[in-house]
Amino acid sequence: MKITQIETFLVNAAPPQEGGWAARNWLFVKVHTDEGVYGVGEASGWPRVVQTAIEDLTCLLVGEDPTHIERLWQKMMGSIMGHGMTGVVGFGAMTGIEMALWDLKGKALGVPVWNLLGGKMRDKIRVYAHAHDAERARELVDRGYTAIKTGGIRNCVESVEAIRKDVGSDIDLMVDVHGPPWMTTRDAIALGRRLEDYDLFFYEDPVAPENIDAIARVSEALDMPIAAGERHAGIWGVKELIEREIIDVVQPDTGRAGGLRQMQKIAAMAEAHYITMAPHDGSLGPIAEMAAVHLMASIPNFLILEHLEDDVPQRYEVMSGQPTVVDSHIAVPDAPGLGVDIVEEACVKYPSEGNISLPEDTYDYQYFWTRENRATWLSNQEKARSSYRPGSVF
């Protein structure tokens, strides 16, 4: 069996209303062979740019046996090294192709991907959904969700307090700060100190991801699990976070971490440091989510998977084999490969319109606004002050 062609489908994944993620896209990948078997995958990491990267990589793969997945990954890695550290763009492109190779191999052998990855640890994958207020959290809990994430720094403490009060202590609650560049390390600690009272499952991306020492300072200062890793590429991207045991939960993005083999290796690195894995799914489409379901079925240190519930109608149109969430879990499918397929007629109904998010305000507004919020987070002055110990982790 030989690879003959690689196709991509760029799908507009923005909500139908004004605003929101105005430029969100999903990039689906289809690897064809001379035997008619094909595999599907998904790539993130700046989708329209990744689409071009996949076109560049295609000539390396045409004519190759698709079943030697690690060898083909190493071939791609070696071929792009001259471009420098390509980050989530290079790794995103390799991810989409590699994911499709697993689907293809599973279909060719008649086995699900989880079987190729080592077999199942579990039959269903626990997922969490998102709520910005108590009303939405209550709705999700009533639908069976047992874990909820809220996000951002706007009214963060108030939202967490209201949600916790409404859903009670049995529901796992998480906060994602989204690591904005305008969040200082000291503010992230101050906010974290206020959140410590709410028994969080984890505190995610408290500061921007580029400065590992800043995350380390937040982690050292707070007494709750810290999660990060969604914007990093490959085993090397999260190596220091894991080896220095800065984080408690590693969150590789299934669409840009480098592929299922890279995620498997990250899981093993994390396992050695008693760190769990909760893959990022926030900008991904349904194909990458199903790839995460297969991989998370096979690793021991799986914690929970992010799930976008009711985000955009096209999520439920562009892929066959849609999962259903029952009691906060997705059942691990038994069909060959990933058990899903791209619905091409649906993909073309949603052409891409943009590829970056436009800022709501001027950039420096965000910096000033965050400083103003510090007063709110520091309302518990004694606790906030005692949280920051300069140089305590170095």
Structure tokens at 361: 């305000």
- For residue 263, the minimal CB distance to Mg ion (Å) is 16
Residue type, 173: L
The HSE-up count of residue 249 (CA atoms within 13 Å, CB side) is 26
The closest residue (CB) to Mg ion is 176
Q: How many residues lie near Mg ion (CB under 5 A)? A: 1
> Among residues 32, 130, 280, 294, which one is catalytic?
280
Rank residues 15 and 321 by Cβ distance to Mg ion and give the closer one. Answer: 15
Instruction: From 289, 349, 271, select the one nearest 313 (Cα to Cα).
Output: 349
Six token digits for residue 195: 């959140």
Beta carbon nearer to Mg ion, 103 or 176: 176
Q: Does 98 bind Mg ion (CB under 5 A)?
A: no
State the binding string over 137-176 for Mg ion (x if CB under 5 A, else -).
Answer: ---------------------------------------x
Minimum Å distance from CB 122 to Mg ion? 23
User: What is the closest distance, in whole angstroms, from the C-beta atom of residue 280 to Mg ion in the complex?
Assistant: 6
Least distance from Mg ion to the Cβ atom of residue 25, Å: 18
Using CB under 5 A as the binding rule, the residues of this chain from 172 to 231 that contact Mg ion are 176
User: Is the CB of 98 or the CB of 230 nearer to Mg ion?
Assistant: 230
For Mg ion, the closer of residues 47 and 333 by Cβ is: 47
* Closest CB to Mg ion among residues 116, 214: 214
Q: Kindly state the smallest distance separating residue 111's Cβ from Mg ion, in Å.
A: 32
User: Smallest distance, Å, CB 232 to Mg ion?
Assistant: 12
Q: Catalytic residue at 178? A: yes
Per the annotation, the verdict on 68 as an active-site residue is no
Closer to Mg ion by CB, 176 or 187: give it: 176
Which residues would be at the binding site for Mg ion (CB under 5 A)?
Answer: 176
- By annotation, the residues acting in catalysis are 178, 280
